[in-house]
């Protein structure tokens, strides 16, 4: 199962972690994994390349994490909208292919 965990602070998304394998088909033939990978990479590239917003991005096999730089102003609605759209897209894939994606949100408080 793919696990998508979004991180929220003060009502705004500040990053996400996507990991795992959908298990819909064998690796290399899994349309759910391909769909998720494409959507996630589009969001990452939109944020870091098109909008040039600083973020720490870590990628490995079956894992990607994006966390905005500490100096980033978390109130930026453009980024929040991109991550809300990514979450919505993953939810739509999950509805089409049940039991392949688990989506959750971690809310962190100001410390």
Model pLDDT, residue 66: 96
Model pLDDT, residue 110: 61
Fold entry, domain 2-108: Alpha-Beta Plaits (3.30.70)
For 49-89, give the DSSP string: IIS---EEEEEETTEEEEEE-TTS-TT-HHHHHHHHHHHHH
Type and span of the H or E element at 41 = helix 31-45
Tell me the torsion sign for CA atoms 46, 105, 58, 109.
positive
Percentage of residues of the chain with pLDDT beyond 90: 70
The pLDDT tens digits of the residues spanning 31-42 come to 999 999 999 999
Prediction pTM value: 0.90
Q: Is the pLDDT of residue 6 over 80?
A: yes
Model pLDDT, residue 77: 80
Taking the domains of the chain in order of start, what are their residue ranges? Answer: 2-108
Model pLDDT, residue 75: 53
**DSSP classification of residue 28:** T
């Amino acid at each position: 199962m793919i696990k998508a965990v979004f991180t929220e602070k003060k009502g705004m998304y500040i990053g996400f972690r996507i990991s795992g394998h959908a298990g819909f088909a064998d690796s290399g033939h899994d349309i759910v994994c391909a769909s998720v990978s494409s959507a996630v990479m589009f969001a990452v590239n939109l944020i870091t390349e098109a909008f040039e917003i600083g973020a720490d991005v870590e990628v490995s096999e079956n894992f990607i994490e994006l966390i905005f730089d500490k100096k980033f102003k978390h109130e930026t609605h453009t980024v929040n909208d991109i991550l809300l759209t990514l979450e919505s897209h993953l939810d739509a894939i999950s509805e089409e292919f049940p039991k392949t994606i688990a989506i959750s949100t971690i809310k962190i408080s100001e410390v």
